[in-house]
């Protein structure tokens, strides 16, 4: 939307969108965050039980490590609480090691060696010396202790576990040099010193607990500064503060794990504020509007926009070519950078852009799209000079509900996606304070899309 900006630098080179990824991305240097491994509160007992309904563990009973017979869900939950480990981590481990969560007809051997604890590549499960770890309850408990009270403690105190696995310590795994980025990843290799097994862990975790955030979502990895915008399955890095503040509402940024963020292939960076004026090496001037470059065809048109030459940002023709081509800007182009006006007669508001007027049905739409916009008074005769366009909608990423109905939606690709439960709302990291209230007429501007998917918990 606006208008005059100070000179700013391009902070990162502009690149083309990557080709779509056909599968999850496995980064051998980063398997899971430390926080995810130790999040013992990620699921309660009822959620664990519901999750296990997909297989025989839903009704399976076994002695726990102390010999008390309990349901599998109870063993997993109690183990998670006692050893400060994520029950999701234990579920994935059970699936990765013995396929126990989803196998419709597991053998007793699978139950007895559920987490693969004490079983090595050259070990025999029939070895009598291993019998003290045999049994579902003992397996779950021993694996949990091994990770949180063994590997993770070793790394915290000595920087290494099992003699060679630690953050930032290169190690050869299956002929490949791997440098774990954190303690959890190092611990995973200490437990399973193979790429394939850990790749399977990531694939299962992604399938069960990964979320597909809708287009328009702003994500940030925990502990990192970078912000990304999710667009059609890509994560586009926003590489300057000016680009972030001029385009998006930073209050909507959701903090996620690095594992979740890296599910998305990286797309083209968002490096420049919207409505930036750029000039290539041949002297061609363009106005950046979202992801299109609009050629400013003359200096008369340039001056009419209201910028000065010292606000031009140098850019190469190759960088310009990364953007879609928008309609050229001539001296007769009306309001190429857009403006908001209010009728002096009845207070109705319109967004004027490129010779088109879009009615704004609710101030919430104005605030969501243009939070810093200056509203100008205008007479009806001025508005009538513009062609009538569609109603202005809420921008992607907006959380919204009507005054009349408690249902909450998130806007994505112009559609409203239902969020069908409070648990789903919270699982996605949304905040109630960011929900915008509108009337039903505004909500009905957006066709209803598919509901946000619940995590498989």
User: How many whole angstroms separate alpha carbon 228 and alpha carbon 44?
Assistant: 31
**Same domain, yes or no, for 297 and 268?**
no
What tokens appear for 244 in the block?
Answer: 């972030």
**pLDDT score at 26:** 83
Among 235, 250, 274, the domain-final residue is 274
**Same domain, yes or no, for 95 and 166?**
yes
**Same domain, yes or no, for 363 and 313?**
no
**Same domain, yes or no, for 120 and 167?**
yes
Q: Domain containing 230 — which CATH number? A: 3.30.2390
Cβ neighbors of 102 (< 8 A, separation 6 or more) are 54, 55, 95
**Same domain, yes or no, for 296 and 188?**
no
**Same domain, yes or no, for 94 and 234?**
no
DSSP secondary-structure letter at 149? I
**pLDDT score at 15:** 27
Cβ 27 vs Cβ 205: under 8 Å = no
User: Domain range spanning residue 317?
Assistant: 277-321
**pLDDT score at 290:** 83
**pLDDT score at 455:** 54
pLDDT tens string, the chain, 457 residues long: the values are 333 333 223 222 222 233 333 345 688 999 998 988 999 998 999 999 999 999 999 999 999 999 999 999 999 999 999 999 999 999 999 999 999 999 999 999 999 999 999 886 556 666 666 788 999 999 999 999 999 999 999 999 999 999 999 999 999 999 999 999 999 999 999 999 999 999 999 999 988 887 789 999 999 998 889 999 999 889 999 998 988 988 899 999 999 888 788 878 888 899 888 889 999 999 999 999 888 999 999 988 888 888 788 889 999 988 888 888 989 999 888 888 889 999 999 999 999 998 999 999 999 999 999 888 899 999 999 999 999 999 999 999 999 999 989 999 999 999 999 999 998 898 899 999 999 999 999 999 999 999 987 654 4
What tokens appear for 453 in the block?
Answer: 């998917």
**Same domain, yes or no, for 200 and 63?**
yes
In a domain, 405, yes or no: yes
Number of domains comprising the chain: 5
Full-model pTM: 0.68
- CA 368 → CA 75, 252, 397, 407, 441, distances in Å? 47, 11, 10, 19, 16
**Same domain, yes or no, for 149 and 188?**
yes
Residue 440, beta-bridge partner list: none
Cβ 201 vs Cβ 92: under 8 Å = yes
């Amino acid at each position: 939307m606006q208008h005059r900006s100070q000179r700013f630098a391009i902070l990162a080179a502009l690149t083309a969108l990557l080709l779509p990824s056909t599968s999850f991305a496995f980064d051998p240097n980063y398997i899971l965050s430390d926080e995810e491994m130790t999040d013992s509160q990620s699921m309660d007992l009822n959620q664990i039980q519901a999750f296990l309904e997909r297989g025989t563990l839903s009704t399976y009973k076994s002695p726990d490590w102390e010999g008390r017979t309990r349901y599998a869900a109870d063993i997993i939950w109690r183990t998670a609480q006692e050893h400060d480990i994520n029950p999701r981590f234990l579920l994935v481990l059970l699936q990765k090691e013995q396929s126990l969560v989803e196998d419709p007809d597991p053998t007793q051997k699978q139950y007895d060696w559920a987490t693969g604890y004490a079983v090595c590549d050259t070990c025999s499960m029939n070895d009598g010396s291993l019998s003290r770890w045999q049994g579902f309850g003992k397996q779950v408990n021993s694996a949990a202790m091994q990770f949180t009270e063994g590997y993770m403690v070793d790394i915290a105190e000595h920087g290494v576990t099992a003699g060679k696995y630690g953050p930032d310590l290169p190690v050869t795994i299956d002929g490949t040099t791997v440098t774990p980025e954190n303690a959890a990843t190092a611990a995973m290799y200490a437990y399973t010193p193979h790429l394939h097994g850990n790749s399977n862990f990531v694939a299962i975790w992604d399938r069960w607990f990964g979320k597909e955030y809708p287009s328009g979502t702003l994500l940030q990895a925990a502990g990192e500064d970078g912000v990304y915008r999710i667009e059609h399955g890509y994560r586009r890095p926003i590489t300057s503060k000016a680009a972030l503040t001029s385009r998006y509402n930073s209050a909507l940024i959701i903090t996620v794990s690095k594992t979740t963020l890296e599910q998305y292939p990286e797309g083209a960076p968002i490096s420049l504020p919207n409505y930036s004026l750029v000039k290539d090496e041949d002297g061609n001037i363009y106005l950046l509007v979202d992801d299109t470059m609009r050629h400013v065809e003359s200096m008369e048109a340039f001056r009419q926009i209201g910028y000065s030459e010292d606000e031009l940002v140098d850019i190469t023709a190759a960088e310009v070519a990364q953007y879609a081509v928008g309609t050229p800007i001539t001296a007769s182009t009306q309001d190429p950078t857009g403006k908001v006006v209010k009728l002096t007669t009845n207070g109705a508001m319109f967004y004027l852009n490129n010779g088109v007027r879009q009615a704004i049905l609710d101030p919430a739409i104005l605030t969501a799209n243009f939070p810093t916009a200056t509203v100008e008074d205008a007479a009806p005769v001025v508005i009538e000079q513009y062609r009538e366009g569609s109603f202005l909608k809420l921008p992607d990423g907006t959380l919204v509900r009507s005054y009349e109905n408690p249902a909450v939606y998130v806007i994505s690709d112009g559609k409203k996606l239902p969020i069908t439960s409070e648990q789903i709302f919270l699982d996605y990291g949304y905040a109630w304070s960011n929900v915008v209230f509108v009337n039903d007429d505004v909500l009905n501007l957006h066709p209803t899309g598919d509901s946000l998917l619940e995590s498989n918990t």
